[in-house]
Amino acid sequence: MNETHHPAVTELAGSLVLGALLEQVRHRWGGYQLVDHWKQGEFHHDTVLRVPAANGELPGTILVVATNCNGGIKEVLCFSEVPEPRALWHARCPENPEFAGTLPPVLAAATTTHWFDPCELLLPDARSEYREEFRERQCGGGWLARTSSSKH
């Protein structure tokens, strides 16, 4: 996805950590609604926020904040509607056949110094903190802790 610059989105991404971004949204627009949280593998999180009081200061009311496992912001995307997780990942990694869907228009996007190609997290030899016998592959790639109900 290409960066589409917008001052408010760039400023939010500049927070560099999710907690600081949330505080900035609270201060600037009076709050937000947590819409969803998606995890892809061990090291990528997408937090979906609705900012109803953005009053045109954002190009849309939906923010997707991509973070690493420590809450470091990698990317902030702005939409007018909530994207489907697999459509978002299809846009990020179009050659991955396990992701599909059409992403709504990205109205603004900003990346940070924490950003790197997220497709690298999904490779079969991707780094994991789980020992092989305690992990399983997530749909699309990346590792999850094996649950007691998982096949052995």
Half-sphere exposure of 111 (CA within 13 A, CB side): 10
- In 3D, which of 40, 126, 112 has the Cα closest to residue 72? 112
**pTM of the prediction?**
0.91
Q: What is the mean pLDDT of residues 52-78?
A: 95
Residues 36 and 45 sit within 8 Å (Cβ to Cβ): no
In sequence order, the β-bridge partners of residue 109 are 77
Show the DSSP H helices in 14-117 as ranges.
18-29, 85-92
What is each CA distance from 16 to 39, 59, 67, 71, in whole angstroms? 19, 21, 9, 8
Residues 126 and 141 sit within 8 Å (Cβ to Cβ): yes
> Is the pLDDT confidence value at 1 over 70?
no
As a whole number of angstroms, the distance between CA 4 and CA 132 comes to: 39
Least confident of 4-18, 24-38, 72-86, 133-147: 133-147
> Is the pLDDT confidence value at 125 over 60?
yes
What ranges do the domains of the chain cover? 7-116
* DSSP state string for 29-44: HS--EEEEEEE-SSS-
